[in-house]
Amino acid sequence: MKTSHRKASLMDAEELTNLSMLLYQEIQSRKDRAENRIVATIRFYEENPNMGAVLMIENPETVIGYAIVFRFWSDEYGGLMLGMDELFIRREFRGRFVASQFIHALINAEKGDPCFAGMELEAHPGNMVAAGFFENAGFARNNNQLYLHLVKHRP
C-alpha cells in the first residue's frame, strides 16, 4: 500500500483527537483517560521542531494513522536516537505493512544525519502484538526497564 507521512498542524487537531481516542480505547492503561492532550502536543512540536513532531500517516485517499516521534541524544548508543511516543494505524489498514513501511521510512530519512544512531520503541508490557511487530520490523528487545517520576500529575 502506498503511503506517505507529513507533519501535523493545528488544522489536523480534530482528526488527531479522534485517532488518539481510538488508540486510548485500545490501551487498557488509558481507558479511563478523559483528557486528550494532542492539541498541546501539536503546539509544543510546532514551537520546538528540533525535538520531534506529530506525523500524519496517509494514503492518497485518507488519513490512516498518526505517530508522535521525538529525538534525544544517547551516550549509551553514541548518537541521536529517534523515539516514538505513540503509533496508531486504523484497524481497517492493519496487516498491510503500513506501520513497518512508515518506521523504515523514518529510519531511512534519519540515516542522512551522521549523528543518527538508531530508533527506540516501547510498548505496554502485555501488548504481545506490538512486541511481535517490533521484532518482525528488525528491533531487538533490550533488558532495560522504564521508570518514571512524574512531577506534574495529569489524569
28 band by pLDDT with thresholds 50, 70 and 90: low
Long-range contacts of 69-75 (CB under 8 A, 24+ apart): 69/106, 74/117
% the chain with pLDDT above 70: 93
Has this prediction a pTM greater than 0.75? yes
9 band by pLDDT with thresholds 50, 70 and 90: very high
Write out the three cell numbers for 153.
Answer: 500529575
Q: Does the structure show a pLDDT above 80 at 35?
A: no
pLDDT in tens, 61-73: 999 999 999 999 9
Query: According to the model, what pLDDT value does residue 104 have?
Result: 94
Q: CA 103 from chain center: how many Å?
A: 9
The highest-level CATH class for domain 4-136 is alpha beta
Q: Does the structure show a pLDDT above 80 at 110?
A: yes
- Please say whether the beta carbons of 102 and 64 come within 8 A: no
pLDDT in tens, 80-97: 999 999 999 999 999 999
> What's the CA dihedral at 118, 104, 54, 142 to 10 degrees?
-40
Domain extents in the chain: 4-136
Query: According to the model, what pLDDT value does residue 36 have?
Result: 73
